[in-house]
Chain A
């Protein structure tokens, strides 16, 4: 009887230990999931800010860039497509297109020194550059969080809990544009 009670006690303790361990794993997964989702929401905030800034910048520079109407049109088009994206993977693809279009606009602006004299344009450009950086850093943070989350839910025994509660992997914000992937020229 005593032996039975001891075995039962050990079994109950083991069960409690396993349950607590599972709760711990579940909480870890939830924590990382929330972190990834929060990082994603940060990206959305910055993307919306970018959608608001682009028309203002285009409006301010179009007087100077009369011969670059094609570039400006591309930016506006890419902006409208990105703003109307239906899901996350579409959004990631369209945002990469918009980033590429904006980069070519900034390169074109470099060729017009009179734009630098226009402080209004300079302010808008700075805001947009800052927003671009914030988007890049938010993506960086999102990718780091998503990687942590994905690694966790694929590892054993965490994958058992993840499958039981139907946790899905997060998509990475990958760079798809060939221009972006080109090795940058090192300048000092």
Chain B
């Protein structure tokens, strides 16, 4: 079958990557063998076992047939162990560190990501299985890993919400290329190997903590401590050197792969401008840094996530030691393909950033009261329109009741799927589900859960979407029961607008002396709630130690209960803080 030039490049690169992978394994084998040889020989010298080997001088020790045979065997075993360790644990460790979750198909934005992955598979004509994970963090970055044939792409919550669909598509196409051309497999193995070395090296000098001997080759016996310590030092030196070489090999193969992946992503999506925009946003976002990752894993990401990165600088030294090419160079290449002037692009971007910043900083320059008032003024008009548009009358027991806002309709106990509804200001009357299809949950009332706060008074939980994420809300007291892992998702999104009342109460809460109280019981001493799912007592705690909002948590079911307006309160504080940071 004939192939296009682009395809032949692709296969060539894939072949090269496989070759590099083999070279790396051989390299590891040599390093391990040398390490064992060195450690065996030095141990003999230090412990004085020369007599056992009939080797009385240094020459006999270093050219001993036993060492020469045993060191490669041990090296081979350790290489094999390293390979299987990386395959089995490296990936799992990374997922655990990042607290990554599988995407929730019921969540609008997560579903969008899954759809985009399907689209890219079609564009590439490849049907390989790719798993997606979502990192519950506000940073904006994306990574891919391939260990033991398990291909994976991870995105942060911040990226999913803040980036447009086209931009996410371009980024995922870029990562997809890394996965299918073998880059990801090689880089994943290098990262995992590097972590393995680092863990050993750090372990050598680990101090005795909590009464446990956590250090590598740690010894309580003072006489032997010196000799063991000396061994540790030697091992540390060898391992550190090997780690540095591995890191260096990582650097050599890193730079061009990103340019190639960018081009291949453009070939799939035919949208170079979307990728340029996405890279610009990642570069601009201060939050893309500090993912809380070990430096070893940073090569897996589309842009270097650590602070103090040298990637953005050019020059011989920087080219040698950086894992990613400068974002600016990548963006410029993409702009050339898009036929867009580089000057014009940056001018427009900087103007856009300036206007955004101006809008954000305006209210923060004023006092808290003024900020609430200015938001009031901005939203008053909008709220009035919303109130008019979203007010409904409900027909109950021969009478029209209302007007109710849509949110208030959830708390009406008598509301049924066939209840008649009238939109305020119009003559139209229709059945509830015809006018408001989102109330379809009322059709299966039997599956409702009792509210932990007002369940005894008839309060029940209904499944609704809040900030496009599935949550459970009490129809009576308006509290929310949310999976603890999903909270970061909600806090990251700001589709829901705050009412004037909510802003005022949040500002007064921020100023109130209640926040000076340090014990949860001083905030809320009511009886502990029972989890509606497992029936166990929920614990009462602060959501965080910045806002002092008290929530109830079930540690068994991993659920968090927010009383009425508590979730909005936390959302308000988080949004305010993030706008201040920006």
**Residues in chain A within 8 A of chain B (CB atoms):** 28, 31-32, 39, 42, 46, 60, 63, 114, 118-120, 122-123, 126-127, 129-130, 133-134, 137-138, 140-141, 144, 148, 151-152, 186, 188
Contact B123 A140 (CB under 8 A): yes
Contact B349 A188 (CB under 8 A): yes
Contact A28 B2 (CB under 8 A): yes
Q: Nearest Cβ in chain B — how far from A44, in angstroms? A: 13
Please report the C-alpha to C-alpha distance between residue A141 and residue B120 in the assembled complex, in whole angstroms: 11
Set of chain B residues within 8 Å of A118, measured between Cβ atoms: 437-438
Please report the C-alpha to C-alpha distance between residue A126 and residue B465 in the assembled complex, in whole angstroms: 16
Secondary structure at chain B's binding surface: helix, strand, loop or mixed?
Answer: helix
Could you count the A-B residue pairs with CB atoms below 8 Å apart for me: how many are there?
65
Known contacts A126-B108, A134-B118: does B273 contact A186 (CB below 8 Å)? yes
Secondary structure at chain A's binding surface: helix, strand, loop or mixed?
Answer: helix
Contact B1 A32 (CB under 8 A): yes
Q: Mark B118-129, 1 if CB is under 8 A from A, else 0.
A: 111011010000
Among B19-27, B109-117, B310-318, which stretch is in contact with chain A? B109-117
Q: Nearest Cβ in chain B — how far from A186, in angstroms? A: 6
Please report the C-alpha to C-alpha distance between residue A129 and residue B111 in the assembled complex, in whole angstroms: 12
Closest B residue, CB atoms, query A29: B1
Please report the C-alpha to C-alpha distance between residue A130 and residue B122 in the assembled complex, in whole angstroms: 11
Set of chain B residues within 8 Å of A32, measured between Cβ atoms: 1-2
Contact A28 B119 (CB under 8 A): no
Contact A60 B115 (CB under 8 A): no
Q: Nearest Cβ in chain B — how far from A22, in angstroms? A: 16
Set of chain B residues within 8 Å of A39, measured between Cβ atoms: 125
Contact partner of A130 among B1, B2, B116, CB < 8 A? B116
Contact partner of B437 among A114, A120, A138, CB < 8 A? A120
Please report the C-alpha to C-alpha distance between residue A67 and residue B125 in the assembled complex, in whole angstroms: 42
Interface residues of B in 260-310 (CB under 8 A from A): 268, 270, 273, 277
At the interface, yes or no: B340 with Cβ under 8 Å from chain A?
Answer: yes
Contact partner of A119 among B115, B116, B125, B438, CB < 8 A? B438
Contact partner of A186 among B120, B268, B340, B465, CB < 8 A? B340
Q: What are 25 inter-chain pairs, A to B, with CB distance below 8 A?
A: A32-B1, A118-B438, A119-B438, A119-B465, A120-B437, A120-B438, A122-B468, A123-B108, A123-B111, A126-B108, A130-B115, A130-B119, A134-B119, A134-B122, A138-B122, A140-B123, A140-B270, A141-B122, A141-B125, A186-B273, A186-B340, A188-B277, A188-B345, A188-B349, A188-B352
Set of chain B residues within 8 Å of A188, measured between Cβ atoms: 277, 345, 348-349, 352
Contact A133 B119 (CB under 8 A): yes
Contact B122 A137 (CB under 8 A): yes
Contact partner of A148 among B2, B116, B273, B340, CB < 8 A? B2
Q: Nearest Cβ in chain B — how far from A120, in angstroms? A: 5
Contact B122 A127 (CB under 8 A): no
Set of chain A residues within 8 Å of B118, measured between Cβ atoms: 130, 134
With A134-B119, A148-B2 given, name 7 new contacts (CB 8 A): A39-B125, A119-B468, A123-B111, A127-B115, A129-B165, A130-B115, A133-B116
Set of chain A residues within 8 Å of B1, measured between Cβ atoms: 28, 31-32
Closest B residue, CB atoms, query A114: B389
At the interface, yes or no: B4 with Cβ under 8 Å from chain A?
Answer: yes
Please report the C-alpha to C-alpha distance between residue A130 and residue B438 in the assembled complex, in whole angstroms: 22
Contact B437 A60 (CB under 8 A): yes
Closest B residue, CB atoms, query A147: B4
Q: Nearest Cβ in chain A — how far from B466, in angstroms? A: 10
Set of chain B residues within 8 Å of A123, measured between Cβ atoms: 108, 111
At the interface, yes or no: B514 with Cβ under 8 Å from chain A?
Answer: no
Set of chain B residues within 8 Å of A151, measured between Cβ atoms: 2
